[in-house]
Amino acid sequence: MSYMRKIAFVITILGLSLLMAILLRKPVYVESLDGLVVGQSVEISGIVDEERKFGTGKLLVIDEVPVFCECSENYVGLDVVVYGIVERFPEDLRIKAFRVEVIN
């Protein structure tokens, strides 16, 4: 039994290490959604062209790239940097924002 526990412990440590490596990786700067993969960590910056209420958050459009954020602030016309992850919604790609920062 102890041999199986050692194997399970080693597999757990390797799995956690892999997850930490993925989370600590720097986001890739993008200007469009072409060639991106679902789950990829990205960074995009630009002026918010339009903003629409969408479910529990807002859909921001930055240089024709849709970005969904669960935010209440108004970003239209502001220069922002968005850190997020690429997701599929329903058939198209969009960015799910984790952090939105306004550039002064």
Separation of alpha carbons 24 and 66, rounded Å: 24
Separation of alpha carbons 32 and 87, rounded Å: 14
CATH number corresponding to 27-102: 2.40.50.140
Structure tokens at 74: 């108004």
Provide the whole-model pTM: 0.71
pLDDT tens per residue, range 31-63: 888 888 888 889 999 999 999 887 888 999 998
> How many residues in the chain?
104
pLDDT for 81 equals: 93
- Helix, strand or coil for residue 9? helix
Separation of alpha carbons 48 and 13, rounded Å: 42
Could you tell me what percent of the chain has a pLDDT over 70? Answer: 99
Please determine, for residue 9, whether its predicted confidence score (pLDDT) is greater than 90: yes
Q: For residue 43, which of 75, 80, 89 has the smallest C-alpha distance?
A: 80
